[in-house]
């Protein structure tokens, strides 16, 4: 039973560029959430996708966008990269309606913006 | 913004000692969970406690929850070098399937 996978592991981009990060959820899960974790901080919720739609969104600008595919995998896109976007980006999957609500996290993508 | 605050921010103890970390949150919650993170990698789920529970055990872990004080504590007994990691509490609300994390406690176990 494969867990949550993310690609790539590491990425280096230049200010102003665009980046796409990918996530495959745990088998049987239908919901994908994305989190940004700056160095030394806790993860912050970016948004969540279910049934190929953005269902919830945190306090992030429109430069952050996403997509969910019919196989439940997801992409996170960030446009016009800023130095402050350098962080570990974590993907988490879950099954909608479960109680208690548990999310399973992937290993993350380390994004460095220079 | 982060809802939770954890203290201490960093904790260093000797192997075999017990480690206690605390977490406070601001609004009403449905569940509170604790996660471990090794060296900036992904988060590993440790334990979940519901809002109507006061204490929960899992192996060497003990979690308490005081909803009147909006606080929780994580106790790791008989610590091992492998417990060295950052520990985060995370809360969720009824009807909102997202987690709100604290800033974490960096735990170092010295051999």
Tens of pLDDT, residues B49-95 = 999 999 999 999 999 999 999 999 999 999 999 999 999 999 988 77
- Following DSSP, what letter does each residue of A34-96 receive, concatenated? EEEE-TTS--EEEEEEETTEEEEE-S--TTEEEEE-TTS-EEEEE-S--GGG-EEEEEEEE-T
Q: CATH number of the domain at A5-113, out of 2.40.110.10, 1.10.1060.10, 2.60.40.10, 2.70.70.10?
A: 2.60.40.10
Secondary structure letter of residue B30 according to DSSP: S
Tens of pLDDT, residues B42-57 = 899 999 999 999 999 9
Nearest chain A Cα to B30, which residue? A100
Question: Is the minimum CB–CB distance between A96 and chain B shorter than 8 Å?
Answer: yes
What is the residue extent of each domain of chain B? 5-110
Tens of pLDDT, residues A82-92 = 999 999 999 99
When the pLDDT of each residue in chain B is averaged and rounded to a whole number, the result is 92
- The pLDDT > 70 percentage for chain A reads 99
Nearest chain B Cα to A47, which residue? B98
Regarding the domain with residue range B5-110, which homologous superfamily does it belong to in the CATH classification?
Immunoglobulins (2.60.40.10)
Instruction: Output the six-digit token pair for A97.
Output: 């309606």
**Nearest-by-Cβ selection for A100 from B1, B35, B48:** B48
**Separation of alpha carbons B54 and B101, rounded Å:** 20
Secondary structure letter of residue B38 according to DSSP: S
> Is it the case that residue A1 has pLDDT exceeding 80?
no
When the pLDDT of each residue in chain A is averaged and rounded to a whole number, the result is 94
A61-69: average pLDDT:
97
């Amino acid at each position: 039973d494969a867990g949550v996978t993310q690609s790539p592991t590491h990425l280096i981009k230049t200010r102003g560029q665009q980046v796409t990060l990918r996530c495959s959820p745990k088998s049987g899960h239908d919901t994908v959430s994305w989190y940004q974790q700056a160095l030394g901080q806790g993860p912050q919720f970016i948004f969540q996708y279910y049934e190929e739609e953005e269902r919830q969104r945190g306090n992030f600008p429109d430069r952050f966008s996403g997509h969910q595919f019919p196989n439940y995998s997801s992409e996170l896109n960030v446009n016009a990269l800023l130095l402050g976007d350098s962080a570990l980006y974590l993907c988490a999957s879950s099954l909608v309606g479960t109680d208690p609500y548990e999310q399973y996290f992937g290993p993350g993508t380390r994004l460095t913006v220079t | 913004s982060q809802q939770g605050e954890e203290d201490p921010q960093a904790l260093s103890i000797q192997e075999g000692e017990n480690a206690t970390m605390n977490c406070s949150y601001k609004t009403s919650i449905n569940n509170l969970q604790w996660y471990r993170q090794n060296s900036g990698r992904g988060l590993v789920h440790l334990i979940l406690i519901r809002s109507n529970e006061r204490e929960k055990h899992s192996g060497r872990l003990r979690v308490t929850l005081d909803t009147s004080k909006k606080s929780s504590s994580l106790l790791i007994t008989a610590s091992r070098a492998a417990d060295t990691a950052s520990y985060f509490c995370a809360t969720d609300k009824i009807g909102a399937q997202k987690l709100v994390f604290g800033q974490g406690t960096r735990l170092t176990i010295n051999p």
